[in-house]
Structure 1
Amino acid sequence: MGKIKLEKKFHSKNLGGQIEEHESSTVQPKLYSKPPKKKKSEDKDESIDDGLSKKILSEARLQQRELAENEAPLATHNLMKKKKGKDPVDDSDDDSENESENENEVYEPVVVDEGEDKLFNKFLNPSSQPTRTLADIIMEKIKEKETEIGTNVGTEGVQGFDARVENLFKSVGEVLNKYRSGKLPKAFKAIPNLGDRWEEALFLTEPETWSAAAVFQGTRIFASNLKSDQAQTFYNLVLLPRIRDDIAEYKRLNFHLYQAIKKSLFKPAAFFKGFLLPLLESGTCSLREAVIIGSVLSKISVPVLHSSAALLRIAEMDYSGANSLFLRVLLEKRYALPYRVIDALVAHFCNFSMDKRELPVLFHQCLLTLAQRYKEDLSPEQKQHLFILMQNQSHPKITPEIRRELANSKCRGDDDMAVEPPSLEPLSVG
């Protein structure tokens, strides 16, 4: 009799149309499996359970720490219930992770030294282009795409979404505007599956009006389901402007947006190309932005190839204080870097040998990190160039430590060779 009741219950869910076909395949084995078969499957999967249990325990500990920090009660799901009549809500995915997060949680403000901040701002790019609104960026992207398609199609032109579909995505945007926790609309989760039309659908939801919690959920979904180049577009057009606006307005970063940056690193190539490198290339990254985003990057493991490419690209950029901070964060990960990357880093520092400007402390801290982590990967000529650099660019507390690290270490390719530092007299310029 119990089996018949279960069949009826499952049949009623199919009539409601709230569960997709692929979910039924995951539900049926649990409903109809027999105890003996469960024992056999458990015996067969013992080796897998050990690895999965470690991941589950680590995630559980992480969530427990987050719950301990979030003392305020969770938001209710009344808004989502009201929207069920307009847009079906997907009950298939487990959003307990989101429900355990406090909508009002923010990280402590970053304390920035005024003197260091002024020195840092001297290296910002004053000729950078004015920042456009997110809506302008997305609309321009869509118009370019439509023009390209219209040229290829000819006189047929480009047809937009059906009016009903447009209204659906606009109603999704209304939900995301006030979203705090709970289930997400099905139409929102379907955006990554729209192929070349996903950007247009995304624009209809008005991402610039999303709540911080919705930005996190959107980053989680798109990072998992979009291709790397598409995720790069989302990071650049949606996530990066939102992060910068939030830091500029509140002098700190909302908890959900902080988590969104962590989720974006799920695709490291897209993160560097669509988020970090554009931020540094803008030449307007503030010290506060660099410290907050750098703290996220320092906590996440990144493959060595992606980090090496990022180090190489940052070292070749026009200098700003933020460059030194992110170089230091990546060097602190202690990768076995290719010599090409190390050579580019040395050249990056040596370019300031004749620079008369006072460099920020971040520059000297980054050079110290390079000396500590990769001193034995430097050639004798490179060490001599760095000693010459420190004759003109020095810090009373950091530079002596850098000199000690370089002088008391082996050189690349020579087990016994050490480099004698030159005198401390500054070089004459001109």
Structure 2
Amino acid sequence: MGKVSKPKDKQRHDPLYKDLTTEGGNLRSKARGKKKEEKNEDEEYVDSASSRKILQLAKEQQEELEKEEREALREESKFSFGSRFTQGEEDDDEEEEEEEENYENISEFGGSDEEYEIDEEEINEDDARLFEQYLEQSQGSSSFGAGGSYNLADKIMASIREKEEKEAQLENESKAVQRPVDAVLLPPKVIAAYTQVGQILTTWTHGKLPKLFKVIPSLNNWEDVLYVTNPDAWTPQVVYEATKLFVSNLTSKQAEKFVQNVLLERFRSEIEDSEDHNLNYHIYRALKKALYKPGAFFKGFLFPLVQSSCSVREATIAGSVLIKISIPALHSSVALNYLLNLDFTPATTVFIRILLEKKYALPYQIVDNLVFYFMKFRILKEDSMYEDAKPSAPLPVVWHKAFLAFAQRYKNDITEDQRDFLLETVRQRGHKDIGPEIRRELLAGIAREPANNEDDKMADF
């Protein structure tokens, strides 16, 4: 079936003008009573053309009234206080004449200057006080605007100057206060942000590190920013991740500072604080990652550790890292030469033995220094120049193990004279179990040809 089309002429309701013409504004098509119908019949309605004319006439009349009012205001303004200063000399003369006439009229009635007084109304004290305050403010604000006006721009400028004065005062006070030695010269926002980062790192165990922490190696003042995060309170997991981040992104000298200030201190504190004096697994992994740059590891970790009161336990744990990680021969040679020039300690001998057991092809200069190092421990005569090197106690087993490692690895790199001096050292300072092994290794080696400078050194012994 098709749709039934509705007539378009029919409206949903009467137009608005019809609704306005009805009484009460209701939609009604019929009058309510006979009286209203009679009233509507008697009334006459004006068509649209006539209403336009009426409105036009009313508009014109209104414009004429406004024009007359403006003219009246202009005439009154001529006699205002401001316009009196713009009039010519003739107006001034007329005013003076009028004042003289008024004065004469007053004198005719028997008045005098003293009797001509103005009656003043009584003024409230509070109103007078408010008026005086207003005058003071207006006089004080006369410098801000023209003619003593004080607008919004003047208020803004005054607030800006007041703020600048406060900032200058605070700056002077901060300069007067003496800064602590370990103060960090950073903006307050940076300190606040990285303090919050440090609080996060105290509980961080896994996941992604904060982005603010990852950008620290790219900063010029990365040491100051790192100090704000409080590395002593980091978790071991953070120390491992931070070691990877800083050692890989910083230069060798900068990584040396991080290893010495963060990793070394954490290494020692972990061993001291643990009950069984073991190292945390994550700190141990961090030591391995620090060897990514051997120069930074030796200068920032190994050498400061040995120079301080390093225990054999700490040396053994740190040495196990050297055993597992491959180190370039040049770095190992330099580190070995540095350890040989230090005073004898069991911890130093542990690292010497570990580096010897890595079986590097050491230069002859390092081999000769090793020979002189072990020869110093033999019993010398009273008039010898090496009397200060004479040991006062039995040598530890660590020293004998290091001597055995040297004899096993470099027995073919020493001269015949050096072998004889080393055999004499074994005879005087040998161990009952390790001494025979050292002697056997030295005798099994093939001597190399000595150089002239080596003969001179041997003559000193």
Which range, TM-score by smaller chain?
A: 0.5 to 0.7
Structure 2: distance between partners of 1:357 and 1:383? 25
- In structure 1, give the amino acid aligned to 2:438: I
Select 1:363's aligned residue among 399, 408, 419. 399
Aligned positions of 1:312-351 closer than 5 A: 312-351=337-376
Using the TM superposition, give the Cα deviation of residue 399 of structure 1 relative to its aligned residue in structure 2, in angstroms. 0.7
2:256 counterpart of 1:232: yes
SS of residue paired to 1:175: helix
- In structure 1, give the amino acid aligned to 2:296: A
Larger Rg: 2
The residue aligned with 1:180 is: 205
Using the TM superposition, give the Cα deviation of residue 349 of structure 1 relative to its aligned residue in structure 2, in angstroms. 1.2
The residue aligned with 1:203 is: 227
Runs of 4+ in 1 over 3 A off after TM superposition: none
Structure 2: distance between partners of 1:253 and 1:352? 33
2:237 counterpart of 1:213: yes
Aligned positions of 1:249-328 closer than 5 A: 249-250=273-274, 251-282=277-308, 284-328=309-353
Structure 2: distance between partners of 1:235 and 1:203? 14
Cα offsets for 1:139-161 (capped at 9, x unmatched): 96x66xx8xxxxxxxxxxxxx22
- In structure 2, give the amino acid aligned to 1:388: E
Structure 2: distance between partners of 1:175 and 1:382? 60
2:417 counterpart of 1:381: yes
Structure 1: distance between partners of 2:204 and 2:421? 55
- In structure 2, give the amino acid aligned to 1:174: Q
Structure 1: distance between partners of 2:392 and 2:416? 26
Using the TM superposition, give the Cα deviation of residue 374 of structure 1 relative to its aligned residue in structure 2, in angstroms. 0.5
Structure 1: distance between partners of 2:376 and 2:246? 40
- In structure 1, give the amino acid aligned to 2:307: E
SS of residue paired to 2:412: helix
Q: So what's the TM-score if we normalise by structure 1?
A: 0.59
Structure 1: distance between partners of 2:322 and 2:202? 28
Using the TM superposition, give the Cα deviation of residue 348 of structure 1 relative to its aligned residue in structure 2, in angstroms. 1.2
The sequence identity of aligned pairs, in percent, is 45
Using the TM superposition, give the Cα deviation of residue 372 of structure 1 relative to its aligned residue in structure 2, in angstroms. 0.3
How many residue pairs get aligned? The number is 258
Using the TM superposition, give the Cα deviation of residue 413 of structure 1 relative to its aligned residue in structure 2, in angstroms. 2.9
The residue aligned with 1:353 is: 378
Cα offsets for 1:302-328 (capped at 9, x unmatched): 001100000000011011001111111
2:269 counterpart of 1:245: yes
The CA RMSD over aligned residues, in Å, is 1.4
Select 1:392's aligned residue among 414, 425, 428. 428
SS of residue paired to 1:376: coil
Q: So what's the TM-score if we normalise by structure 2?
A: 0.55
Cα offsets for 1:13-41 (capped at 9, x unmatched): xxxxxxxxxxxxxxxxxxxxxxxxxxxxx
Aligned positions of 1:41-190 closer than 5 A: 160-190=185-215
Structure 1: distance between partners of 2:440 and 2:257? 45
Using the TM superposition, give the Cα deviation of residue 383 of structure 1 relative to its aligned residue in structure 2, in angstroms. 1.2
SS of residue paired to 1:173: helix
Structure 2: distance between partners of 1:345 and 1:176? 45
Structure 2: distance between partners of 1:192 and 1:382? 50
Stretches of structure 2 lacking an aligned partner (at least 5 in a row): 1-179, 380-390, 451-461
The residue aligned with 2:23 is: none
Structure 1: distance between partners of 2:418 and 2:306? 26
Using the TM superposition, give the Cα deviation of residue 392 of structure 1 relative to its aligned residue in structure 2, in angstroms. 2.0
Higher RCO (CA < 8 A, seq sep 6+): 1
SS of residue paired to 2:392: coil
The residue aligned with 1:103 is: none
Structure 1: distance between partners of 2:265 and 2:375? 33
Structure 1: distance between partners of 2:328 and 2:247? 16
Structure 1: distance between partners of 2:214 and 2:405? 43
Structure 1: distance between partners of 2:192 and 2:418? 62
- In structure 2, give the amino acid aligned to 1:275: F
The residue aligned with 2:444 is: 408
SS of residue paired to 1:218: helix
- In structure 2, give the amino acid aligned to 1:273: K
